[in-house]
Amino acid sequence: MAAALSRYGETADDLEWGLRDCARRLGIDAEFFATPTAVFASFGPSGRQQTVLLRTREARIDLQGLSMVHEVLRGVREGRLTAEQALAELNLVTSAPPRFPWYMGVFGSGLGAASFDLLLGGTWLEAGIAATVGVAVGVLIALGRRFARLARLTELLAGLAASLLALGWGHLVNDMSPATVVLASLILLLPGLGITLGVAELASRQLAAGSARLAGATVTLLSLSIGSFLGTSILRELDLMPHTHIPDVPTTPAMLVVAAALSTVALLISTNARIRDAWLVAVSVGIALVGARFGAWLVGATLGVAVASLIVGLWSNGYARLSRRPAALALIPGLAVLVPGSLGYRGISAFLRTSTGGLEVLGAVLVIAAGLVVGLLVADATLAPRPDAGD
């Protein structure tokens, strides 16, 4: 259970709570300490404990797997499953192949790039260009999952490829923003969720887990930014930089509707969610978009993210209490739309170009991440995801 919960990205607090509850139901005296890469379990009475170290795999977002693992956990808690039965169920869950084949992941990367380009203020034509660059990034992601040696270079190569392709398109299309295309095509690789979870764990005094998660997110951001910077530098040295004009086109309601629909499909694929949960992803995306605009209108764009995360948090916690399923099923798609990683990428890229240009943007990342966490903490205090969460 510890390996499964950690594999699917459960926060340290929820992981430790689930393991303690599971151990209590099985009549085992145990304490647990969780980090993103390891779980320590101490069994026995105080002073005579035996401690076991479990190295865990790097977490990945898999809403189907997380949902099925929580069903097994609930079965143990309610006495419907023995330890042996639960272990057999977990082995089936963790050994199951992804719901969507690799080419669907590539397709989802293209859709996600197009949708986020529209959300970032791009035109219809620019969204189509972002889709082609997103497909190329999706191919690199698929290759990274296939070949272990390539996996560590996925972010660096994705940033390099996205930069070269976007700037190459700039020679063919003048009315576009290559920077926006690059950002949109890399959006599914940006660790916005990792930043948010890391700050949330620090806020709940899970200092080891939060620091480790933020460190991992920082490495990802650096790899993406350095790759993008290398692509730009190569073309600049070869005197092949395009002269583009960023069009000032307002985002229309039709663009928002199309972006919401495309991002729903992209998130359904990228999070490996169940097809029957498509409505849940769509509602979460819609609530996040409406909440972001309402928060920006109410208190401004920077602090408005706290209002948006409060609305998304209340929605996901309410869904969790009514359905007795993990709140993450509704929370993760909503947070993906509110991702602060995009600003982090912009900040590091600017920092590589100038000594001070990106520091203000990086500071804004922490403010936005803190705003997300504040909203989620208020949501948890107002409406806990489970009835006994406040005990």
Asked if the model's pLDDT at residue 375 lies above 50, the reply is yes
Residue 210 falls in which region: left (phi positive, over 0), alpha (psi -120 to 50) or beta: alpha
Taking only the tens place, the pLDDT of each residue in 21-40 is 889 888 888 999 988 888 99
What average pLDDT is seen over the chain? 83
pLDDT score, position 135: 95
**Angle between helix 328-337 and helix 301-323 axes, rounded to 10 deg:** 160
Asked if the model's pLDDT at residue 345 lies above 60, the reply is no
Taking only the tens place, the pLDDT of each residue in 147-162 is 878 888 888 999 999 9
Burial annotation 3-42 (CB, 10 A radius, 16+ → b, else e): ebbbbbbbbbbbbbbbbeebbeeeeeebbbbbbbebbebe
In this prediction, what percent of the chain has a pLDDT beyond 70?
A: 89
Among residues 40, 219, 246, the alpha carbon closest in space to that of 125 is found at 246
pLDDT score, position 157: 92
Band (86; pLDDT cuts 50, 70, 90): very high
Which amino acid is residue 218, in one-letter code? T
pLDDT score, position 371: 77
Taking only the tens place, the pLDDT of each residue in 227-257 is 888 888 898 888 888 888 777 777 788 888 8
pLDDT score, position 109: 92
d(CA 372, CA 378): 10
- Residues 100-119 have a mean pLDDT of 90
CA dihedral in degrees (7, 11, 14, 15; nearest 10)? 40
Q: Which two tokens stand for residue 41?
A: 């379990």
Lowest mean pLDDT among 115-124, 168-177, 217-226, 335-344: 335-344
Q: Which two tokens stand for residue 154?
A: 């996925």
Query: Which whole-number Å values give the CA distances from 341 to 35, 224, 369, in the listed order?
Result: 21, 11, 9
Band (133; pLDDT cuts 50, 70, 90): very high
